[in-house]
Amino acid sequence: MSYKKDLLKIYNKIDTIVKRGHTSIYDYYSYIDELIDNGKYQMFQDVLLQYYKIDVRTYRHVSDYRKISFEQISELTNSSFQKQFKKVCDSTGVYPNGFHYYDYYTNVYLGDIKEVEIPHSTIMYKDPELTKVQKAVDNGEIKIITLEVTVGSANALAEAIPQFETRESQVITYPQGCTILYGTDLYRCLQTYTWEKGNFITPTNPSYWTQVSSPTYSFTVINDDTIPLLDKYKLAINIIKTSQ
């Protein structure tokens, strides 16, 4: 009985984190690390399998399924805002990883969209979904959320796009369409291949890679508190897509 209670406790924590929205993905990563450090990795596996039908044993490394499992769990626990937000992303052909956004079809990094809460005296609701509303309602005032949109920042590129790796002790598969940093330049993979010791295919090999231009740098703040957050995201996504 105690084991089941522990599983339920882990499930409730995961559910709480994911319901905060896509920007909580790093909290989810940290919680996985916390469970591993506390010797509860098996419990975490059992929770994903029991509550979400996700078998993480099919993945070789923790890093392989962290993002995938977060997205799968999100689809099962999304709030109404998150469901509407997902529809916007699907209809515009983008997907988020934290605050980094990518083209759904090419996996090309587009830019960053960050939520920034404007501090002021407010009456906060217990329902986290209501914090997504951008104006006062009958029961009082709630916090305003501003979006910061960054395109083409060197720091953002370094955070959002992995460096080309050639570790001798590990086999690394580069899928077609993936984008990497090689030095300070961006390259897109033209065809899938596996790098391993003795493989000398680097992004300078035109048979497998093509160099792509970095997006034009821009920084925009969307702070109109008369429109819903979903409409702000529509504006932000339009900015990162048209800046390429």
Domains defined for the chain, CATH in brackets: 2-77 (no CATH), 80-152+216-242 (no CATH), 156-212 (2.10.10.20)
Cα 2 from Cα 77, distance rounded (Å)? 25
Give the model's pLDDT for residue 142.
Answer: 52
pLDDT at 126: 43
Per-residue pLDDT at 138 exceeds 70: no
Residue 143 has pLDDT above 80, yes or no: no
Q: Helices 80-92 and 229-242, interaxial angle, to 10°? A: 20
Distances, alpha carbon 212 to alpha carbons 103, 125, 179, 207, 238, in Å: 14, 46, 9, 15, 21
Handedness of CA 28, 103, 219, 21 (dihedral sign): negative
Residues 119, 237: Cα–Cα separation, whole Å: 24
Convert the pLDDT of each residue in 49-66 to its tens digit. Answer: 777 777 777 776 777 777
- The model's pLDDT over 175-214, given as tens digits with 9 standing for 90+, comes to 888 888 888 788 988 988 888 777 778 898 999 999 987 7
Cα separation, 150 vs 110, whole angstroms: 9
0.75 cut: is pTM over it? no
Q: Work out the pLDDT band at 237, boundaries 50, 70, 90.
A: very high
